[in-house]
Copies of this chain bind each other. A is one copy, B any other.
Amino acid sequence: MKRESHLESAPGTSPGTVRPGGRTAKVRTAVLRATEEALATEGFHALNMDRIAGDAGVGKTTVYRRWGSPTGLVADLLRDMAERSVPASDTGSLEEDLRANAGLVTGTLTDPRMGPVFRAVIAAAACDEECATALRGFYETRLGTWAAAVSRAVDRGEAPPGTDPVEVVRAVSAPLYYRFAVSHEPLTAADGERAAAAALAATRAGVFAPRRPAPGTPGA
C-alpha cells in the first residue's frame, strides 16, 4: 500500500486559483505541506502560524492574512486533501471494490505519516467547529467518490434496488475508524477484510435499502 495512496500526487492547486501554477498556488502548496508535516510530527495543538510560515518559506503576514489561524490551516489542508482524492476502484465486483476501499482506509490510517495526520485532524475537529465542518466536507467527498462503486453494483444487480450507496461505504469505514480514533485498538488488514465482509452481508440483506412494503403486500 502506497503512502498517500488515496491522494493524487500533484498537490495544492485550488479551484479558485487564477493561475494554477502561479505564485498563489505555490504559496498554498508550501504552506499546506508544512502544515501536514507539523500535524504528522507534533499534532494539532503544537500548530504554530509563525513556524508554518518559516517552514514554508513564506511571509508571516501572508499566512495570517490568508489562513487566519491554525484551524484555518487545518480546514484548508482538508479541502486540499479532498481535491486530490483519486477515483474509487472499479473491479466489476462489489466485494472486490469494498475490499479495495477497506484496504485503502486501513493503509491510510496505519501509514506512519498519514495516520498521525488523521489523528491530528480528528482531534482538531473535536475541539473546533471550523475543523469539524472541513472534516465533514472531506468525508462527504470521499464517501461520494466510493459510493459510485456501489451504484454501479446496484445497476449490475449485485445489491438490492434502492440501496443507499453512501451508507454502504460508511459501513466499511466505520469499524476501522472506530478502532483508530475511538477505542484505540490495533488496526490490521484482517479488520479491513472483516469490515468489507460485514458491509457486503448487510448490503445483500437489504439493510441499506429503505424499507418500503412491496406493492400489494397484504396488511403492509
Chain A interfacial positions (CB closer than 8 Å to B) = 43-45, 119-120, 122-123, 125-127, 132-133, 135-136, 139-140, 143, 167, 170-171, 173-175, 177-179, 181-185, 194, 197-199, 201-202, 204-205, 207-208
What residues of chain B lie closer than 8 Å to A143, measured between beta carbons? Answer: 183
Complex copy number for this chain: 2
What residues of chain B lie closer than 8 Å to A123, measured between beta carbons? Answer: 123, 126-127
Asked if A171 and B175 make an inter-chain contact with CB atoms under 8 angstroms apart, the answer reads: yes
Q: How distant is the Cα of A143 from the Cα of B171 in the complex, in angstroms?
A: 19
Q: A122-B126, A123-B126, A127-B43 are in contact. Are A170 and B183 (CB under 8 A)?
A: yes
What residues of chain B lie closer than 8 Å to A208, measured between beta carbons? Answer: 194, 198
Question: What are 11 A-B residue pairs whose CB atoms fall within 8 Å in the complex?
Answer: A43-B126, A45-B45, A139-B183, A170-B175, A170-B178, A174-B174, A177-B178, A177-B182, A198-B202, A198-B208, A199-B202
